Structure 1
Amino acid sequence: MDSLSLILDDMHFDGVVFASTHNSTPWAWRLATPGLAAFHMVTSGQAWLLREGEEPLLVQTGDLIVLPAGSQHHIQDKPQTMAVAQDLLPHMAASELEPQKHGGQGEPKCDLISGHARFDVDMAAPLIAALPSLMHVRGLGEAPPLWLAIGLQFLAQEVAAPRPAQQAIINRLGDILFMECIRDYVESVPEGSGNWLAALKDRALSNALAHMHRDPRRNWTVPELAQQACLSRSAFADRFTQTLGEPPLTYLTRHRMRLAARQLSGSGLSISKIADLVGYSSEAAFSQAFKREYGTSPSVWRQQRLAAVNPIAVATTNGDQQAAA
């Protein structure tokens, strides 16, 4: 597998949450999905996207807008609309296929499919940080991307009427459209741009990244990674550091820590087992590396994450521990 595929696999995509809306002037929605990529597809009509500190952006029929970090924004009938923006996120939870009517009784009308992707926020953080705050893929013009035209046609057909496995198919389609956006952006990143995604276009660095992501448990050395890149040790280390902004083994350690964080928050494995899974034979060495990255020990970090998700369970666990003591 290529390095981008492995990076996307590490993000653990879990489909999309979406809402279909039929909007009549005046109308306005607001949306924020921090850390999770939000998107809007205009299937008919047009809309305006507003973000703080940015010029209003016209979004037309066939366009796909992706905000990789899920930053707060409004999408509405015109830049100075008369409508009060409503929160779109609660309507996504139901993932209703039947378009929800919104706004007034005026013209023109706009049909939107909006949503956000579901993936591991911690594992996705480096990629999301490297992407622009907004990606606008235009469906109109001389040469719209073939994948977007096909995707919108497929989506329109899928939401036209209830069918078996509809939600699963829409989930996969949403993932694919987001990945296509990322792929297009990676292909457009120029060399020497200072964006580490340029490494994915560099065969030498991409090979090394693929090996690190495929086997993060292995005790990689710089000479071994340089061999995979078909470069000398010094040439590889210099090119990697210049392109990705950090030395190879620093990148590997931070990737291991993200993998460990995923295990700590999503599994009941012991700290020592997680340390072994991410390439540490010593629990103490693993704990030190984790604390350098996250500012706290693995056990405390796990407890904090658990408390954020289920405070009752943590309170019960602490009570049981005190009683046992």
Structure 2
Amino acid sequence: MLMPEPQTGHDRGTADPDRNTALAAALDRLSLEGAIFFRSEFTECWAYRSLTPEGMAETLHPGARRLIIFHIVAAGRCWVSPHGGERRWADRGDVIVLPYGDQHEMGGLQEAEVVPIETLFEPPPWDSLPIVRHGEGGDRTDIVCGYLHSGDPLFDPGLRAFPPVFVVRPPEGPMAQWVRSSIDYAVAVSENSLPTGSIPTQLPELLLVEAVRLHLASAPAADNGWIAAIRDPVLAPALAQLHARPGHKWTVAELASSAAVSRSLLDERFRKVLGRSPIRYLTDWRMHLATGLLATTDHGVAVIARRVGYDAEEAFSRAFKRATGSSPGTWRAAKTAVAREL
């Protein structure tokens, strides 16, 4: 399969091909190993719980501590919830990524009993791509599932550079067409019971890289120093703290203490590598998280404001409008309208 020209943009937004040259170069150098491992046909009502990260790694890639898990929604609509947390919704053509392979639950539009995923298929090794069929015979949701393994710091669960789960909708154009073609190919492989060894390993690798590229396009300083920052001995521990607790009322002094450096050194590194102060980066990171929550959850604006560190909805709305040019409600309505048109 031919790789589409790299595109960037918000998780459910439009592409901007002029951004993220450094990010694209860094992602192109990622070392990944992966495979598409099964296709699922779920019918309402349905829900399942995945294996633990350790159990998933032992089952699919012995020797790995954790895997990166992704799901492509080929048809229908579903939700995913890591750690029993909030539900993120995904529609046809969306790519769901669990960058640390966290245990999670998935389900459809109606409430259903949650069953362990391992009860729905025979354990590997598989001679051909397995098909999981589960549900009560109602409306159908098709999902293509895959995994990857990487030792890159980008996927270090200690740093938590990503949320536990994120949903990416490729913008219309070559990328979306390529994802659809990849889904069709995976479905064809499973329907024809072709040997698992006939599936090109590059397919899940390319899908994951493009999903990460799209997600990070709206991350603070993604277009210059973000990848370098998570490898920086001064910045990495500070970023780990900010990413793990974005709602905390951080001060530069507290952040510097957590990273075991002076305030002046921390501020200097943030400005030199990321082009902004620590507190400005925190604000921008909160807005990055907020756009994801607005796009993929049903939470009200007040709930999202509290999740990303704002006690008052009004203060959050002002900060969001400064960052995006729209109020949270207007931004969500526009994204919803675009999603319905696709």
TM-score (norm 2): 0.48
Pairing 1:97–2:119 present: no
1:21-36 aligned at under 5 Å gives the runs: 21-31=40-50, 32-33=52-53, 35-36=66-67
- Structure 2 SS opposite 1:145: helix
List runs of 5+ in structure 2 lacking aligned partners: 1-20, 55-65, 233-267, 279-342
Q: Deviation per CA, 1:168-219, whole angstroms, max 9, x where unpaired?
A: 41x2111110000111123222xxx3xxxx2x512xx58989xx9xxxxxxx
8 Å CA contact 2:93, 2:176 repeated in 1: no
1:1-325 aligned at under 5 Å gives the runs: 4=23, 7-8=26-27, 11-16=30-35, 18-31=37-50, 32-33=52-53, 35-52=66-83, 54-78=85-109, 80-87=111-118, 93-94=124-125, 96-104=128-136, 106-120=137-151, 124-125=155-156, 129-138=160-169, 145-163=176-194, 167-169=198-200, 171-189=201-219, 193=220, 198=221, 201-202=223-224, 205=225, 238-240=271-273
8 Å CA contact 2:228, 2:273 repeated in 1: no
Q: Deviation per CA, 1:87-136, whole angstroms, max 9, x where unpaired?
A: 479757445424232234x2122222223212226674289722232221
Distance 2:208 2:123 in 1: 17
Amino acid at match of 1:174: P
List runs of 5+ in structure 1 lacking aligned partners: 213-234, 246-325
Shift of 1:78: 3.8
Shift of 1:83: 4.7
Structure with more relative contact order (C-alpha pairs < 8 Å, separation 6 or more): 2
8 Å CA contact 1:158, 1:166 repeated in 2: no
- The 3 A distance-change label for structure 1 pair 101 and 174 is same
- The 3 A distance-change label for structure 1 pair 43 and 160 is same
- The 3 A distance-change label for structure 1 pair 8 and 142 is closer
Shift of 1:167: 3.9
Distance 2:271 2:87 in 1: 41
Distance 1:5 1:90 in 2: 37
Distance 1:11 1:180 in 2: 12
Distance 2:274 2:88 in 1: 36
What's the counterpart of residue 290 of structure 2? none
Larger Rg: 1
Amino acid at match of 1:51: P
8 Å CA contact 1:28, 1:86 repeated in 2: no
8 Å CA contact 2:129, 2:196 repeated in 1: no
Shift of 1:65: 0.7
Q: Deviation per CA, 1:126-152, whole angstroms, max 9, x where unpaired?
A: 897222322212369899834433332
8 Å CA contact 1:38, 1:66 repeated in 2: yes
- Structure 2 SS opposite 1:130: coil
8 Å CA contact 2:70, 2:145 repeated in 1: yes
Distance 2:227 2:46 in 1: 49
Deviates more, 1:157-166 or 1:177-186: 157-166
- Structure 2 SS opposite 1:188: coil
Distance 1:62 1:208 in 2: 31
Please give the root-mean-square deviation of Cα atoms over the aligned residues, in Å: 4.3
Shift of 1:79: 5.6
8 Å CA contact 1:92, 1:115 repeated in 2: no
Shift of 1:30: 1.4
Q: Deviation per CA, 1:64-84, whole angstroms, max 9, x where unpaired?
A: 211111122111234621353
Residue correspondences, number: 210
Amino acid at match of 2:208: F
Higher helix share: 1
Shift of 1:165: 7.7
8 Å CA contact 1:18, 1:92 repeated in 2: no
Amino acid at match of 1:30: R
- Structure 1 SS opposite 2:156: helix
What's the counterpart of residue 254 of structure 2? none
Shift of 1:163: 4.8
TM-score (norm 1): 0.50
- The 3 A distance-change label for structure 1 pair 123 and 58 is closer
Shift of 1:242: 5.9
Distance 2:269 2:109 in 1: 51
Amino acid at match of 2:49: R
Amino acid at match of 1:25: E
8 Å CA contact 1:135, 1:181 repeated in 2: no
